[in-house]
Amino acid sequence: MKAVYSPLHSRHDGGKELHRGELVPCYEMPVRADYILSAVQTAGLEVIKPRPFALETVLKVHDAAFVTFLRTAFDQWKAIGKDGFMLPSGFAARSMRQDVIPPGINGKLGYYCYDAGTPIVEGTWDAVLASAHCALTAAALVADGERSAYALCRPPGHHAGASTYGGYCFLNNAAIAAQYLRDHGSARVVVLDVDYHHGNGTQDIFWSREDVMTVSVHGSPETEYPFFRGFADERGEGKGEGFCHNFPLPRGTGWDEYSATLDQALAVIRDYAPDAVVISLGVDTYENDPISAFTLGQQHYPLIGAKIATLGLPTVFVQEGGYAVADIGTNVANVLTGFEQAE
Determine whether 159 is an active site residue.
yes
Decide if domain 2-342 falls under CATH 3.40.800.20: yes
> Could you read off the pLDDT of 236-259 as tens digits, one per residue?
999 999 999 999 999 999 999 999
Give the CA distances from residue 122 to residues 6, 62, 70, in Å, rounded to whole numbers and listed in that order: 17, 21, 11
Distance CA 292, CA 179 (A): 29
> Could you read off the pLDDT of 134-144 as tens digits, one per residue?
999 999 999 99
DSSP state of 232: T
Distance CA 30, CA 73 (A): 21
Residues in the chain: 343
Q: What angle do CA 175, 115, 240 make, to 5 degrees?
A: 35
Catalytic residue among 12, 62, 133, 159: 159
> Could you read off the pLDDT of 170-206 as tens digits, one per residue?
999 999 999 999 999 999 999 999 999 999 999 999 9
Residues 195-223 have a mean pLDDT of: 98
pLDDT higher than 90, residue 47: yes
Mean pLDDT over the full length of the chain: 97
Task: Concatenate the DSSP letters of all residues of 12-77 into one string.
Answer: S---EEEETTEEEE-SS-THHHHHHHHHHHHTTPEEEPPPP--THHHHTTS-HHHHHHHHHHHHHH
pTM, rounded to two decimals: 0.98
Within 8 A by CB and 6+ apart from 72, the residues are none
Phi-psi region of 328 (alpha: psi -120 to 50; beta: other; left: phi over 0): alpha
Q: What does the pLDDT read at residue 343?
A: 80
> Could you read off the pLDDT of 260-285 as tens digits, one per residue?
999 999 999 999 999 999 999 999 99
For residue 342, the tally of other CB atoms under 10 A from its CB is: 14
> Could you read off the pLDDT of 284-316 as tens digits, one per residue?
999 999 999 999 999 999 999 999 999 999 999
Distance CA 182, CA 50 (A): 20
Distance CA 270, CA 274 (A): 7
Q: What does the pLDDT read at residue 5?
A: 99
Residues 157-167 have a mean pLDDT of: 98
Q: What does the pLDDT read at residue 84?
A: 92
Residues 328-333 have a mean pLDDT of: 98
Residue ranges per domain, the chain? 2-342
Q: What does the pLDDT read at residue 41?
A: 98
CB 191 within 8 A of CB 174: yes
Q: What does the pLDDT read at residue 66?
A: 98
CB 229 within 8 A of CB 200: yes
